[in-house]
Structure 1
Amino acid sequence: MSTSTKKIIIFDDDEDILSICSYILEEQGWEVHTYSDCNNIVEKVSAILPDVIMMDNWIPDSGGIIATQTLKKTDALKDIPVIYFSANSDIQILASHAGAQTYLAKPFDLDDLERVINRVIAA
């Protein structure tokens, strides 16, 4: 296991969520990349090759489900765990439909954020 910095991409069009998550994760030593849309998602993710991806359900333009499915159909990227996050009450169904590894309901607290990320990178 290399000691290189863990990388995460957060796709969310809510600037507050991006800044809070970035701050918390950078404090824990993550290299954080954020995008407010999922256009050209294969190119964006391929350029960074993160350890984890956080995907909002309502991300422009195509939405989190299509964005996640696109990643899961791309051989080089399909094994990167995706954490689906949304305020939608059907989040469990949405995450499953998208092919995400797990999900995080909004609003979430920071302990939930850490727990879900640690769970997918330990898997």
Structure 2
Amino acid sequence: MVQDKSKVVICDDDDGILSMLEMIVESTGASVETESNSAKLLPRLENSQPALLIIDLWMPNMPGDAIVRRLREQEKYNDVYILCISASVNGQQVAMEAGADKFIAKPFDIYDVLSVVQDVVKLDGVA
């Protein structure tokens, strides 16, 4: 499977946050896929490996930290940068122990998210 270095996948069960994150990422020129049902995320990633996964930790069906652990168990996902977001008090510890690359607390600063996208995603014509 080939990684799409210009793609970002966002998984959050809150439609408002999902829409806001989608707008933030699209503003960089990156391609975006969203998923509100965490149970559907792993099958979707089988066919489409993004440069960046932005995922909420606390979701029904399957929590974000369980998804991160599953991805980190598989070598084919080693190059996927994982940004966890959460309003949880111990979210940073949970995210980092699961194998996330970065954690941003909710409510998040748009520029913090933009900074990660710009650092990770490689767009055509950009070094």
User: Normalization by structure 1: what TM-score?
Assistant: 0.86
Q: Are 2:27 and 1:30 aligned?
A: no
State the 1:95 CA deviation: 1.1
Counterparts of 2:111 and 2:88, CA distance in 1: 20
Matched residue, 1:9: 9
RMSD over aligned Cα, in angstroms? 1.9
State the 1:60 CA deviation: 2.6
User: For residues 1-123 of structure 1, what are the structure 2 equivalents within 5 Å?
Assistant: 6-121=6-121
Residues 3-52 of structure 1: per-residue CA shift (max 9 Å, x gap): x8710011100100111111121121011111112214332112221010
Between structures 1 and 2, the one with greater strand share: 2
Q: Which runs of 4+ in 1 moved over 6 A?
A: none
Residues 44-98 of structure 1: per-residue CA shift (max 9 Å, x gap): 1122210100110112312011111011112211321110100112122011121
> 1:6/1:121 Cα in 2 relative to 1: closer, same or farther (>3 Å)?
closer
8 A Cα contact 1:87 1:106, kept in partner? yes
Q: Which has the higher contact order (CA 8 A, sep 6+)?
A: 2
8 A Cα contact 1:36 1:59, kept in partner? no
Percent of pairs with identical residues: 30
Counterparts of 1:40 and 1:76, CA distance in 2: 18
State the 1:100 CA deviation: 0.3
* 88-97 vs 10-19, which moves further: 88-97
8 A Cα contact 1:11 1:59, kept in partner? no
Q: Which runs of 5+ in 2 are unaligned?
A: 123-127
User: Normalization by structure 2: what TM-score?
Assistant: 0.84
Q: Which runs of 5+ in 1 are unaligned?
A: none
> 1:92/1:5 Cα in 2 relative to 1: closer, same or farther (>3 Å)?
closer
Counterparts of 1:12 and 1:110, CA distance in 2: 16
